[in-house]
Chains A and B, each alone.
Chain A
Amino acid sequence: MSSATVAKPLAKQPAPGRRRISLPVLLLVIAGVLVLTSVVRLITDADGITSTGQMSTALRLAVPIGLAGLGGLWAERAGVVNIGLEGMLILGTWFGAFAGYQWGPWVGILFGILGGALGGLLHAIVTVTFNVNHIVSGVALNILALGATRYLSTFAFEGKEGGTSKQSPPVESLGSFSVPGLSDWLQDLNEKHWFLISDLAGLLGGLFTNLSPLTVIAVAMVPLSWWVLWRTSFGLRLRSCGENPVAAESLGVNVYKYKYLAVVISGGLAGLGGAFLSLVGSNIYLEGQTGGRGYIGLAAMIFGNWMPGGLALGAGLFGYTDSLKLRGGGTNVHALLLLLAILLVIGAAYLVWRKRYVPAAITAAVSALMFAWYGLTDEVPNQVVTATPYVVTLLVLSLSAQRLRMPKANGKPYRKGQGT
């Protein structure tokens, strides 16, 4: 496609005056963390932290967060802040289960997407056509989605077999599969508990074991979104609406149309995430099932610097910390305290090398506290496990917020012809 040449210089251009982490460095950092994790696992004997089961659970939990994050990405790349993701997820869970229990799970997925897209359309009408503050509209949408699904549940599910006003009848499963041969081999490798190799096998094994077809579709959405947004003329125009709508308009781009499309697609992706929750995560719709995942998806997107790869990494991190809660949380998180403490020591050393002594001293002190916490206790309370993903997000944001760059016109009101 000819537009690829147009898109390239834009994507490559680093923000002036800021260091940009290049891909090799990022891979090196990830590899380093993996080696450290492996060391920590050997020291603490908490084999759970890199087991295939753990990784597989993490993936399952990361998918809805990642889809919500992708939804946020599409909307915000076109300049519309979407805090209504939570409401769109709720609509996705409800519509997914509603159609799923009557006409099968695949129709359920379709309805989930449509339900989310409906929420997106409403958000687009309010924010693009009426130019209302995006966050206000999103909050309103969240309230409305909650009320509407609760109200509808009493008609749609109450009195049906296995359904009440708070949950739907069970939906037929989509089934799951493991990649033959590869999955078993990786699992065997993982159970040998070798240094590094078993950890890698666990990580990869999680990606090939007990997969739902919907997981594959969801994961494929990440590169697909990247390709559409950064390698097609459609994506370039869409992103230009988020960076400088006036300039886009002057070049003949119908900004309203692109914003509408972006927000509706955003809703559709969040709806798919919702459908995943009610069709794959469990097999029913349950009131309050989303549990704030829309907000977490938004955080994952910001964590990932408004890029698909970054948000996938963020969603993976959230999914992983979430999975710790389900599988032997206390001991595993306890083991991760040691990892965190070691990482902080490295961070302190780096800061000393950069001659920033005060932050280095603070980091070292925090690290010492972590070591003490690790040494003096055997388990962490359940509440600490629950709070971990949120604390991690806050930490990451506070460390990296200044290096993040959101679309320039994100959240700004735009009216047709305002530039003239």
Chain B
Amino acid sequence: MKKFDKERVLLAVAGPVIALIAAVALTSVVLIASGKSPIEPYTLMFEQATYSDIQVLIINQAGMYYLAALAVAVGFRMNLFNIGVDGQYRLAAMTTAVVGAHVALPAPLQIPLLILVAMLTGAFWAGIAGILKTTRGVSEVVATIMLNAIATSVIGYMTLTENFGVPVGNNQTTGEMSKSGWFPGISMGDSGEIYGFVVIAALAGVLYWLILNRTRFGFDLRATGASESAAAASGVNAKRMVLSAMLISGAVAGLAGMPILLGDVHTYSLSFPTGLGFTGITIALLGRNNPVGIAFAALLIAFLDKASPALDYATPVAYDKEIAVIMQGLIVIAVVVSYEAVRRWGLRRQQQRVGEELAAAARGNGKGDGNGNNDTVKEVAAR
């Protein structure tokens, strides 16, 4: 069995590597087609990544992406597509900001309170889609798309000046949060500060792995995701699993905005980052719903994000930073296609191997009686 595992590891690594190479190659084609150097943007971006202040930015961004992607991955393991992570984290960040601005407890109480508020808000918003799916049979894809749009309106309404909004200059904020709710960061000297919440994100990854792979609940969840009817036959309540997966996904999504909210801006404003949820989908796909894979994927996408703005100001030739967005899209397509191709290739290898073993067994037993031959065939086929 050891030999098999080695090949499985190889297959698991081959998927993303092939995808990345394909995406880079395709991006280079785009660059050549637009009459630009196909290599220089990459060297420029790698050069950016050697500066420590950019590194801090990348880690901070990756922390948020990581949480968003975990939220998407929880759904994926259950065969649920939570497109609503985007609305969930924005709504959660807004609510947390409002609570943080109006409640002032000592820090050991305030921070857990804020985290709880964020998780509950996210879970509530995702739970609507979960309940609609379990009780009314509404597809979670459509429901969460609608909820994203509704979240935007709700946020717009709540941040009106007559409600909780506080205009600052030409920006609309929710007022500064009480100091006790600020999450302490890890100072890196001149290079800036790493959000302390990044540690929580890493812990969430560990927890995700533990719950999914080491608990009965996680097993039920994965089983339901793999085959709902089979899980139901073994006594799993599929509807309850759908609802709990949705609630957990929403709760994790609620945390996605926290690193920047509690660690840096301390208020929800018009300039709060948007679209984390959609990037989270990319990252969860790229990382194959595996906590370590997602971490690498989050770092990669954060690198593309934070190293690309410098392209606009590069001398002597400037590049358009949009090339990084194209690359993200290409990566997703390349990733899903290459995973499928690698999976099929692995399947074929396995079939070939079984075929060879069957043939070898047939040769070996050629002189034996027919009965023994049949047994060997069955035994090998049973693998």
Contact = CB atoms under 8 A, between A and B. Distances in A.
B166 interface: no
Contact of B160 (A126, A131, A140, A381): A381
B340 interface: yes
B81 interface: yes
Contact of A144 (B138, B139, B330): B330
Interface string B328-344: 11101100110011000
Nearest to A133: B336
Interface string A373-401: 00000000111101100110110011101
B211 interface: no
Contacts of A137: 333, 336
A151 B157 contact: no
A292 interface: yes
Interface residues of B, number: 42
B285 interface: yes
A298 B156 CA distance: 25
A275 interface: no
At the interface, is chain B mostly helix, strand, loop or mixed?
helix
Contact of A401 (B138, B281, B341): B138
A399 B336 CA distance: 35
Interface size of A as a range: 35 or more
B157 A381 contact: yes
A390 B146 contact: yes
B142 interface: yes
B230 interface: no
B145 A299 contact: yes
B282 interface: yes
Contacts, number: 125
A386 B328 contact: no
A142 B282 CA distance: 11
B50 interface: no
B6 interface: no
Given A132-B337, A390-B146, A154 B320 contact: yes
Contacts of A33: none
Contacts of A189: none
Given A150-B325, A151-B323, A383 B141 contact: no
A384 B325 contact: no
B7 interface: no
A2 interface: no
Contacts of B336: 126, 130, 132-133, 136-137, 140
A140 B332 contact: yes
Interface stretch (B108-116, B147-155, B260-268, B365-373): B147-155
A295 B153 contact: no
Given A292-B149, A397-B138, A397-B142, A147 B325 contact: yes
Interface of A: 83, 122, 126, 130-133, 135-137, 139-141, 143-148, 150-151, 154-155, 292, 295, 298-299, 302, 381-384, 386-387, 390-391, 393-394, 397-399, 401-402
Given A151-B30, A151-B325, A386-B152, 8 more contacts: A126-B333, A140-B332, A143-B329, A151-B34, A302-B142, A390-B150, A393-B142, A401-B138
